[in-house]
Amino acid sequence: MSRLSKIALAILLILFFSGTVFIYKLLNVKYNCSNTPGPHYCLLSNSNPRLIERAASIFPESLQVVLGAKVLNLRTDIVSKDENDEAIKLIKPIYNELEANTSWAELPTSLGITYEKIMHLNLSQQQYFVYLPKKYNGNLILFVHGLGGNFKSYIYLLSKVAEDTGSVIVAPTYKMGVWDEEGIKLLDSSISDFENKFNIKPTRYVYIGISNGGLPIPDYIDKSKFDFTKIVAISTFVDHEKYKQPDLIKTLSNKEILYIYGKEDKRIDSYSSLQSLNYLAKSKINVITIPFEGGHFIIFSQREKILDDLTKFVDTP
């Protein structure tokens, strides 16, 4: 056998071995939606994970986030490089913790849905994360993610709130986090699917939205079939034009609102948002505002303090 033939054979063997390993990993991604404490990846009804979901879950989410950030650095019209680099610096230690824990490391990623959107494969949305605490006290936290996708790091951080307050978390994944009409419908669908699958009927519902995830609040809360008594918006814009609607004011009259923001956040109009919240407060709505030092990513930079504030807010009757 010639030297060239040997090289060609070696390349073929490497490709065959690599392909075999890839297919094996693809078929063995653990999609577990069982009624046991800890994190789970669930799908609406009896649907199956799509190929792109499985493929994305082969690679550590931390790697995907870092690579995504490097690509995003080419789009300074969306986010500045400095802000992007800061986010990665803050999020890396969280992923180190997360991936050192087997139940979290084996949890599939939902970023495949983000890739579908990037490739304009607008397929039906059917995915949501669930976190079940060791001891359940009746609360359901609906977590609504922001732009970029539903990162496991969010659910990982909020799992501390879930354990401390005995709350379950339902966290739907919608494309890249632009919550249009279809996305808003997914919120109720995910809660209903969770309650049916797990045979759980919560006694209280809490909405937590971060960044873009806070934008659907006025459109969703007013129409949802679930009665959210507590609403949290973190690093999000509060649109006065939407919140001044009389019907929404009436809906919010028996609810509590917690607004958490970074004083140096350049992504949102904090001044206008605070004016909107002042309007709600003058309308006799219970509004709590907590400012933090930092920019848009205070959920990471002020992690312990914010989780403590969330725990107190959720735990208060």
pLDDT digits (tens, 9 = 90+) for 172-216: 999 888 999 999 999 999 999 999 999 999 999 999 999 999 999
pLDDT of residue 219: 93
Its CATH class, for the domain covering 36-45+125-315, is: alpha beta
Q: So where are the chain's domains? A: 36-45+125-315
pLDDT of residue 76: 56
Q: Residue 254: in which H helix or E strand, if any?
A: none
Q: Which of 104, 71, 187 is nearest to 140 (CA)?
A: 187
Cα–Cα distance between 236 and 143 in angstroms, integer?
14
Cα–Cα distance between 121 and 191 in angstroms, integer?
25
Q: Residue length, the chain?
A: 317
Name residue, tokens 């709350």: 167
Tokens of 161: 């709130």
CA max distance for the chain: 86
Q: What is the pLDDT of residues 217-256, one digit of tens each?
A: 999 998 899 999 999 999 999 998 899 889 999 999 999 9
The count of other CB atoms within 10 Å of the CB of residue 34 is 11
- Burial profile 107-133: b = 16 or more Cβ within 10 angstroms, e = fewer: bbbbbbbbbbbeeeeeeebbbbbbbbb
Q: Residue 305: in which H helix or E strand, if any?
A: helix 303-315
Question: Per-residue confidence at 88, pLDDT binned at 50, 70, 90?
Answer: confident
Q: Which of 189, 185, 195, 249 is nearest to 216 (CA)?
A: 185
Q: What is the pLDDT of residues 109-133, one digit of tens each?
A: 999 888 888 787 767 778 999 999 9
pTM surpassing 0.75?
yes
pLDDT of residue 3: 60
